[in-house]
Amino acid sequence: MMLLKRHRRFAARSCPENAEYRTIFKPRMVKKKEYGLKEADDEVWEKVQDLLRARICQNSLPENMDGTFQSQREHLTDLIRRCATIGESNSALVIGPSGAGKTMLMSSILSELAKDSKISGNILQVHLNGLLQTDDRLAVQEITRQLRLENTVKDRVFGSMAEKLSFLLEALKKDEGKSQSILFVLEEFDLFAHHKNQTLLYNLFDISQSEQTPVTVIGLTCRLDVVELLEKRVKSGFSHRQIHLFHSLSFEQACKVCEDALTLPLNYLSKKFCTEWNSHVKEFLQERIVETSLRHLYDLDKSIRSVYSILLIPICRLGPSHPRLDSADVLDALKMSSCDSKSAMLQGLTILQLCLIIAMKHLAELYEGSNINFEMVYNEYQKFVQKKSNSIQCFGKPVCLKAFEQLIVLELVRPVEGSGFTGAKLTPKEYRSLKLLVTPLQVVETLNSFSCPSELKM
Amino acid sequence: MDPENWKNEILCRDKQLSILLSLMGKNSQATPPAIFIYGHSSTGKTFLSRKIIEAKGAPQAFVNCIECQSQRLLYEDILGQLSGMLPCVQNDYARYARCETANDFVRLLKNLIANEKWEKETVYIKPLSQDQLKINVKQGVDNAERLRNMEGHILPVFLRLSELSDCNVCVILLTQIIWEKFNATSGYLDPVKINFPDYSKNELLQIMTLDAPKEYSKAFYSSYVNLLLSIFHMACRDLSELRHLALMNFPKYIEPIEKGDATEGDAHKLWRNIEPHLKKALQTVFLREVSSSQWEQYQLSDTSTLPPLLSARAHVELPFYSKFLLIAAYLASYNPAKSDRRFFAKSHGKIRQTKRMKKAETSSQLTGPKAFQLERLMAIFYSIVDVRVAPTAHIFSQISTLVTLQLLSQIGSGDQLDAPKYRCCVSLDFIRSVSRTVNFEVMKYLYEFAA
């Protein structure tokens, strides 16, 4: 009897282990629901935010870095490669303004070299940071910890740092007597130069000059004059190899970087969503408001960090009710970052404090150069209030003193240095000489902008 | 966490609330590494940020920098709060770990986050006062301006904590001082700055009306607060102070109603009753010259005398010659040296025409006390004391006592033994009351007040 198809299916269905089952009942391809920008729900937007926030807030490496800092990258890669393979010791300093991309360049080089097993197997890395290791002693402890030599060093007392370091390097020697290459990356290098006697730097450079171990010392710093900070003996050990990184992106390249940061990879979510999103990003960055804001920030500070800063708020506001990046958000972010904080604080002062500041400003103009103290300010305040009399009442001296002390806490008024805080020259607090830290223009602006009795506006 | 419900609890801060909520996002998302919140005191910075972070449920730590005068206290407090291991009786006051440097702190933080498997959440750190892995550790630092006064590397470490520890840490700094004063040299990462503006008068009214006691209607309390603000608003905008004053003076305000003299609608009568009382409050409770409990007793009793002021108690009972020494010191500080002959010599020559010169100088009451030498002090002292006084050690030791009491202050180092210099530190009112007790007319001898 010819087995009809339906008989076969019946047989196959009853025993799922059967190979036929698999061929007949192929798992139905679950059709991925395609959704565009408008239909996306909460979960989708959360995933979008996850990715975009991670790119902007955390310093993750951009996917393609071809073209940026090409020559510097080749130089550094070459140095490290030679240390790992041939065993040549080197030192170099990477100098560039804050936010130029020094750490980014280093991590990108290191991640690339990690893929090459010949190099990554041969070289040990030690990362030190000047902000955390504020002392040479802490630095050596950290080196010990990163080289995982705590157990070998335990309970041994060393005479000097040179001994300590050479002991550590000896311990790393492989069995054949060949030593391991080590790469030292020192971030905030200029802070290491402020340690006492610069012993760590001296020893590191000394080791890189001597034949003991192949060592590469790379320092990252934002001070252009860092070599001046080094002592003579340290400077002589340094190879004077300086690699400069400057903000080399033009405005168009900066915009391109922004666009890359906002673009979603096509396979991240539904294809339709991603293509719609990417085209929206392109349009968004070409809007006039957004372009002027980006140019405004770029003119002040060429680093990528400042340009990213206005993208943060529009990204954080994405959601099903807000499915597009909005240029109004960009304006908001720009306003927040460029708002004059001192004027904002001035607007929160009481009327009494404002009168005292006006009195002080007046006195500063009259008595340029000589000392002003609270008594003089109070005197001036009384004269001022008596002139204007009607709506502003004149408060007593203790109340004025309390208001004045609040101004000192807010650091709008500051006692002049050496004006009597120390025990020997104890002056009563009404007589301590003061300085007003608010410009006359800010005072006038505050008076104009908020509601205060019109008598105050002179 | 329900932001919509908060609208009833958190008034007048909608914009800041929405910005903060959107920046923080979900617990598993990356946050900006540092947020800087600044504004006047009592504008709701701590209140709002605490509420949001607690509602988020992410691992968090709040630290108030006033309490931490060394970095070790700061770090151990943060680690203790994050790990849940705070010193208490049960665990014999043990700390989570000993942590004295920033280096250890970052390392221990990384270990803690890895151990607790907070891989996917944000950790918030808020150092309060003066100055937060894939986990968002949120750290709140209140009064963050005090971080500036600690070792120089602490503030940049906190701002970059996310980068240094490779974890998702958000540090929120709360302070009254603007960002420009946190001197940014190398190594600083600019945080996201959020301003909390002060409350306007209407907003203050709205918030303070929430305090209304249950027996009285909100409208009644609101009109009372309005009256209060009309007197105090010019001098004080601080929400906590105003609430305190409102609650303290409310019993006096409703006194006529309780006695039966007036009803809620008689606004004029109630105002007349309370107005002088509030004016007195401006001089006393507001300045903390009188404590709150004394003020309450004063309201309940019917006496019209105020409780004694704190500053009035500063009168020190001095021995007879010490009083004259003090007066002499005051005269020496505030009179120019060339006028001594006029006041203190038994006979002097003609007074030159000094009226013009007198007006040109600034009054020494404004510029402050000047330094004088011991000889000058003794000369003036002998001339104003009527009886003959022998220059014994007895008299000189009283000068040292005056210095210890900080009524005089010694200038210069103590090595000039034969010609020490002093300066008088008391105010005119004090000297007048002292001289009244010895029947001495100090005003006749002062350069500005004498004819």
Q: How far is Cα B167 from Cα B137, in angstroms, rounded to an integer? A: 8
Q: How many residues does chain B have?
A: 451
Within a domain: A216: yes
Within a domain: A412: yes
B39 near A CB under 8 A = yes
Whether B300 shows a pLDDT value over 50: the answer reads yes
User: B174 near B194, Cβ under 8 Å?
Assistant: no
Element (H or E) spanning B320, and its range?
helix B320-334
A395 near B CB under 8 A = yes
Nearest CA in chain B to A452: B234
Q: How far is Cα A456 from Cα A355, in angstroms, rounded to an integer? A: 8
Average pLDDT estimate for A128-148: 87
| C-alpha distance from B300 to closest chain A C-alpha (Å) | 25
Among A223, A351, A393, beta carbon nearest to B186: A223
- Which domain, by its residues, includes A77? 69-244
Least confident of A96-110, B128-142, B213-227, B321-335: B128-142
Within a domain: A404: yes
| pTM metric for this prediction | 0.81
* Higher local confidence (pLDDT), B310 or A153: A153
Phi, psi at A165, each rounded to 5°: -65, -40
Nearest in space to B51 (alpha carbons), one of B24, B83, B86: B24
DSSP string, B89-109: TTTTT--S----SHHHHHHHH
What is the CATH superfamily name and number for domain B14-195? P-loop containing nucleotide triphosphate hydrolases (3.40.50.300)
Among B28, B193, B287, beta carbon nearest to A399: B287
Q: What is the CATH number of the domain that holds A375?
A: 1.10.10.2450
pLDDT number for residue A87: 83
Q: For residue B298, give the 3-state DSSP assignment.
A: helix
Query: Number of A:B CB contacts under 8 A?
Result: 179
Element (H or E) spanning A219, and its range?
strand A215-221
Within a domain: A141: yes
Q: What is the mean pLDDT of chain B?
A: 77
Q: For residue A77, give the 3-state DSSP assignment.
A: helix
User: A324 near A41, Cβ under 8 Å?
Assistant: no
pLDDT number for residue B355: 53
Average pLDDT estimate for B364-384: 84
Q: For residue B411, give the 3-state DSSP assignment.
A: strand
Average pLDDT estimate for A131-145: 86
Residue A140: which pLDDT band, with cuts at 50, 70 and 90? confident
pLDDT number for residue B128: 44
B132 near A CB under 8 A = no
CATH code, residues B320-345+363-444:
1.10.10
Q: How far is Cα B105 from Cα B160, in angstroms, rounded to an integer? A: 13
Residues 62-91 of A with CB under 8 A from B: none
Average pLDDT estimate for B431-447: 85
* Higher local confidence (pLDDT), B158 or A9: B158
Q: How far is Cα A14 from Cα B76, in angstroms, rounded to an integer? A: 66
Average pLDDT estimate for A8-32: 57
Q: Count Cβ atoms below 10 Å from residue A83 Cβ, excluding itself.
A: 23
Q: Which of A210, A226, A244 is the last residue of a domain?
A: A244
pLDDT tens digits for range A213-254? 888 999 999 888 888 889 998 888 888 889 998 887 888 888
Least confident of A53-57, A115-119, B33-37, B119-123: B119-123
A431 near B CB under 8 A = yes
pLDDT number for residue A31: 53
Q: Do A398 and B31 touch (CB under 8 A)?
A: no
Q: Do A341 and B412 touch (CB under 8 A)?
A: no
In A119-253, the DSSP E strands lie at 123-129, 181-187, 215-221, 242-244
Residue B267: which pLDDT band, with cuts at 50, 70 and 90? confident
Question: Is residue A234 domain-shared with residue A347, that is, in the same domain?
Answer: no
Q: What is the mean pLDDT of chain A?
A: 80
Residues 1-30 of A with CB under 8 A from B: none
Q: How far is Cα A236 from Cα A239, in angstroms, rounded to an integer? A: 8
Structural domains counted in chain A: 2
A56 CB neighbours in chain B (<8 A) are 30
Residue A445: which pLDDT band, with cuts at 50, 70 and 90? confident
Whether A185 shows a pLDDT value over 90: the answer reads yes
Average pLDDT estimate for A165-193: 79
A241 near B CB under 8 A = no
pLDDT number for residue B306: 64
Of all residues in chain A, what percent carry a pLDDT higher than 90? Answer: 3
Whether B133 shows a pLDDT value over 70: the answer reads no
Within a domain: A334: no
B3 near A CB under 8 A = no
Q: What is the CATH number of the domain that holds A107?
A: 3.40.50.300
Q: Do A341 and B425 touch (CB under 8 A)?
A: no
DSSP string, B17-64: HHHHHHHH-STTS---SEEEEEE-TTSSHHHHHHHHHHHHT--EEEEE
Average pLDDT estimate for A422-430: 59
Q: How far is Cα B69 from Cα B147, in angstroms, rounded to an integer? A: 9
Angle, vertex CA A289, rays to CA A284 and CA A292, nearest 5: 110
Interface predicted TM-score of the whole assembly (ipTM), two decimals: 0.81
Q: Do B40 and A348 touch (CB under 8 A)?
A: yes
pLDDT number for residue B356: 46
B131 CB neighbours in chain A (<8 A) are none
B100 CB neighbours in chain A (<8 A) are none
pLDDT number for residue A397: 83
Q: What are the extents of the domains in chain B?
A: 14-195, 215-312, 320-345+363-444
Q: How far is Cα B111 from Cα B404, in angstroms, rounded to an integer? A: 54
pLDDT tens digits for range B75-107? 888 888 888 777 776 666 666 777 788 888 888
Average pLDDT estimate for B39-63: 82
Within a domain: A162: yes
Within a domain: A191: yes
* B441, burial (CB in 10 Å: exposed 0-12, middle 13-18, buried 19+): exposed
Within a domain: A363: yes
Least confident of B8-12, B175-179, B405-409: B8-12
Nearest CA in chain B to A338: B193
Structure tokens at A301: 């500070």
pLDDT number for residue A164: 81
Whether B360 shows a pLDDT value over 50: the answer reads no
For residue A128, the cross-strand partners are A186
Q: How far is Cα B421 from Cα B399, in angstroms, rounded to an integer? A: 12
Whether A189 shows a pLDDT value over 70: the answer reads yes
* A33, burial (CB in 10 Å: exposed 0-12, middle 13-18, buried 19+): exposed
Parallel/antiparallel/unpaired status of strands B408-411 and B421-424 = antiparallel
Interface test with A, best of B37, B135, B154, B234 (most A CBs within 10 A): B234
Q: How far is Cα B67 from Cα A275, in angstroms, rounded to an integer? A: 54
B407 near A CB under 8 A = no
Q: For residue A270, give the 3-state DSSP assignment.
A: coil
B151 near A CB under 8 A = yes
For residue A92, the cross-strand partners are A218
Q: For residue B290, give the 3-state DSSP assignment.
A: coil
Angle, vertex CA A331, rays to CA A328 and CA A335, nearest 5: 140
pLDDT tens digits for range A70-111? 888 889 888 888 888 888 888 999 998 887 888 888 888 888
Q: Do B367 and A46 touch (CB under 8 A)?
A: no
Nearest CA in chain A to B16: A336
